[in-house]
Structure 1
Amino acid sequence: IVFLVSHLAKERLKPHLLPSNVEKAMTAPAVAVIGHDLDFPQLLPRLFPHNPGAKDWFHDGHLRERTAFRNGSLQGAYFIIAARALGLDCGPMSGFDNAGVDKEFFGGTDIKSNFICGLGYGDPSGIFDRSPRLEFDEACRIL
């Protein structure tokens, strides 16, 4: 996660945002750039010590990319839950140029951006109510 808190850091992000996300990102006290590391298997001996050979499971580049994206998405969701538990408002956004953000903030690494998330205390007048959700039967099946 790269936390953008200075005006200069957010200005670096600005050209990569969709127009509808510029004001939200620029006015947030902080913007977190959530990324996932495509070279994560190299960390597995340290982070998954009970199976030191786990890094060998990911020789296939496609599997490694899908796994990094999936696990990074889960970690990003946990990040949002933790921030909200601390009383922060979160504004996750996917409307940006990933390649541009990757070059700007993760250049020279194997980290790829997934989404960005504005953090702070939102103005209640500008926060809309939760959008409708699908009914259980529309989204789930029990077998």
Structure 2
Amino acid sequence: MSLILDPTAQDLLFREARTANTFTDEPVTDEQVQAIYDLVKYGPTAFNQSPLRIVLVRSTEGRERLVRHMAEGNQAKTSTAPLVALLVADNEFHEELPALLPHFPQAKDAFFSERPVREQAAALNASLQAAYFIIGVRAAGLAAGPMTGYDAAGIEKEFLDGDHKLLMVVNIGKPGEDAWFPRLPRLSYDEVVTTV
């Protein structure tokens, strides 16, 4: 094996990790979410940009507002997950770039002055950050249930403003009874990798 990461950690983060569909009622604390974020915020992005925003849906009222926009197959698990996170791309992320790039202060204006350029950069880099976030949830010993089955416009109108774009909804918690669907196949190395 040519990986340095301990096999147990490999299993936790990848081989044995699955998308959870049921959860126990054990709460997910703010301290856990902060530890997850503090770990994954160092994942690489272009120009060190950090367009990901996370909206935690904890309240009963917030959960009801969210669930009515979820696809029917996602409503029950979103209703019962201990925590639900909306992972969102901030299209005005460039406002933080001068602080994040003190050695390259012109990046804010040089690359991101046009809205379409910012939206494309925000979508790509926030998606990278969302993937890191899911791995961080797994590293915390929790299960993540990322979903895209919802009315995005409805959720955005309910929870966001015009500068923010919903990427995914993620249920988070300890896996419950019958949490996993059967593992589906993945493409093999030879089907994916070519060398030129």
TM-score range, shorter-chain basis? over 0.9
How many positions carry a matched residue from both structures? 142
2:135 corresponds, among 75, 78, 81, to 81
1:22 paired with 2:75, answer yes
Aligned ranges for residues 53-92 of structure 1 at < 5 Å? 53-56=106-109, 57-92=111-146
CA RMSD of aligned residues (A): 1.3
Q: Which has the higher helix share?
A: 1
1:110 aligned residue = 163
- Change beyond 3 A, Cα 1:88–1:61: same
Runs of 4+ more than 4 Å apart: none
Aligned-pair identity in percent equals: 44
- TM-score normalised to the size of structure 1? 0.92
Which residue identity does 1:111 align to in structure 2? H
Distance 1:54 1:28 in 2: 40
- TM-score normalised to the size of structure 2? 0.69
Structure 2: stretches of 5+ with no match in the other structure: 1-53
1:38 paired with 2:38, answer no
Kindly state the Cα deviation for residue 76 of structure 1 after the two structures are TM-superposed.
0.6
Question: Alpha-carbon deviations, 1:17-48, whole Å to 9, x = none?
Answer: 11111111111100100001101111100122
Structure 1: stretches of 5+ with no match in the other structure: none
Question: Alpha-carbon deviations, 1:68-97, whole Å to 9, x = none?
Answer: 000110111111111100100000001111
Distance 2:178 2:67 in 1: 24
